[in-house]
Amino acid sequence: MHRKSGTFLWTFAFVVLVVLAIPWFLWGDSRVVAGLPLWLWWHIGWMGLATAVFYAFTQSGWDEMMGVTRG
């Protein structure tokens, strides 16, 4: 992946993770699924997605983008 487009895509991915981390649209929603509030399920799923994105980032040559050398 080209360095400039890769930087843009990773920045976009992290911005989306931050913006949607708090489910504003679920505030005041009292639905319960499998004994837990829906907003809690949102957080569980979101943390799983964030984990996958961060893992992909660490595997994508981030050290070279950041100027870090492996020793």
Q: Return the residue matching tokens 């991915």.
A: 13
Least Cα distance to 26 among 44, 43, 39 occurs for: 39
User: Can you name the residues that pair with 33 across neighbouring β-strands?
Assistant: 36
pLDDT greater than 60 at residue 1: no
Alpha-helical runs (H) found in 27-70: 38-58, 62-66
Q: For the chain, give the mean pLDDT.
A: 85
| Predicted pLDDT of residue 58 | 83
Residue partners of 70: CB distance under 8 A and separation at least 6: 63
pLDDT tens digits, one per residue of 6-38: 788 888 999 999 998 888 888 888 899 999 999
- Whether the model pTM is above 0.95: no
